[in-house]
Amino acid sequence: MRVAKWPHEAFIANIEKAKALARTQQYVNEFLDDPQVLERHMAKLASLVSDVLGFDFIKDIIEPAQSQAVAAASERFANAPIAVSDEKAARLLPIAMKLMEPVSAVATLRGQTLLEQAVVLGVTAYETYVTDTVGVLLRLNATLMDRFTDELDGSLTYSKIRRHGRDSKEAATRVIVDKYPALDSGKVKGLFDRLVKNKNVFGTEARETSIRKFIEHRHLIVHRAGKIDRKFREKTGSKLGLGTTVELTTTFVMGGLSELSSFAGELQRMLEAEAQEGLEAEPPGDSPE
C-alpha cells in the first residue's frame, strides 16, 4: 500500500496556527482587561535590558525622553489658537475614525473570538487531512476502490465522471469521500475499516466522543454564530440555555486541538507502517480543491 506525507504535514501546520490563535486570545484578554499587564511586561523587559547595559533603561532613557516630549507639546498647545470650524471638524471626523480602527479591532477580539476561530481552523484542518488522505489512498492503490463496488455501481454516473474531466478514478474517489464525510466519526470508522481493516481508527470510545464534541462546537460556531440550539445540547450534553453563547476556554480549545493532533499522528503512523513503497511527499500538480 502507498500513502502520502503531505496531508499530515499540512494538517500539522494548520493545527499550530490554531493553537497560536488560542494562546493569543489569552494574552489579548489580559491586555484589554488589565492595562497594567503591558506595563509589567515592559518592566520585566527593562530589568533584563538594564542588567545587560548596566544602567536603568526606563529611568535614564525612556522617561526623560517622554518628559521632554510632553513639555514641548504642552508649550506648543498653550500657544496654539483654538478655533475649530465646522469644515475642519468635518475633515477631522473621518481621520479620527480611521485612527481608531486598530483600537476598535483589537477590542472586538476580547472574549473568545480567537478561540472560536481556532476551533474552526482546527476542525477544518482535521477534515481536510482525513479527506486528502483517503483520496490519496484510493488514487495510489487501485485495488482499494474494489471494496466500494456497491456504492460506485449505484452512484458513479456519466455526468459525475464528466464533471471530473472524464477521469473515472477521480469521480469515483469523490463519490466515496462524499459518502463517508470526515466530520461524521461513525462514517470515518466504517471507511477506515474497509480501507485498512481497522475496526476503530479512533482507538477508544473516549477519544471518539471527545473529537465528536469538538466538531459539534465548530458546527455551532459556523452555523449558529455560537448560539446554543437543541441539536448541540443533545449531541454534547451541554446544560447551557437555548440561545446563549457557547462558552470556550483556552484549556478546552487547546485540549481539543491536541486530541485532533494525537488522532491524526497515530493514523498517519499506522498508514506509513503499512506502506510497502515510498511515501508521496508532495501533492501531484495543483493543490487539491
Domain boundaries, the chain: 6-26+112-274, 29-79+86-108
The pLDDT, as a whole number, for residue 266 is 95
Check: CB of residue 44 under 8 Å from CB of residue 38: no
Cell of 108: 472586538
Residues 6+ apart with CB under 8 A from 159: none
Residues composing the chain = 289
Percentage, residues of the chain above pLDDT 90? 42
Check: CB of residue 1 under 8 Å from CB of residue 111: no
CA–CA separation, 187 vs 34, rounded Å? Answer: 47
Phi, psi of 59 (to 5 degrees): -70, -35
- Block residue for cell numbers 527593562: 46
CA distances from 60 to 32, 46, 74, 128, 247 (A): 29, 11, 22, 54, 46
- Distance spanning both ends of the chain, measured CA to CA: 24
Q: Which range (132-146, 163-177, 180-194, 249-263) has the least confidence?
A: 163-177
The stretch 130-142 carries a mean pLDDT of 90
The stretch 123-129 carries a mean pLDDT of 97
The pLDDT, as a whole number, for residue 144 is 87
Of the candidates 236, 215, 261, 207, the residue with the CA atom closest to the CA atom of residue 19: 261
Mean pLDDT for all residues in the chain: 84
The stretch 158-186 carries a mean pLDDT of 81
Read off the pLDDT band of 22 (50, 70, 90). very high
Selection from 29-33, 51-55, 104-108, 234-238 with the highest mean pLDDT:
234-238
Q: What number of other Cβ atoms are within 10 A of residue 259's Cβ?
A: 20
Q: Residue 36 pLDDT more than 80?
A: no
Q: In degrees to the nearest 10, what's the CA dihedral of 14, 16, 19, 21? A: -60
CA–CA separation, 163 vs 171, rounded Å? Answer: 8
Q: Residue 230 pLDDT more than 70?
A: yes
CA–CA separation, 255 vs 157, rounded Å? Answer: 43
Q: What is the pTM of this model?
A: 0.75
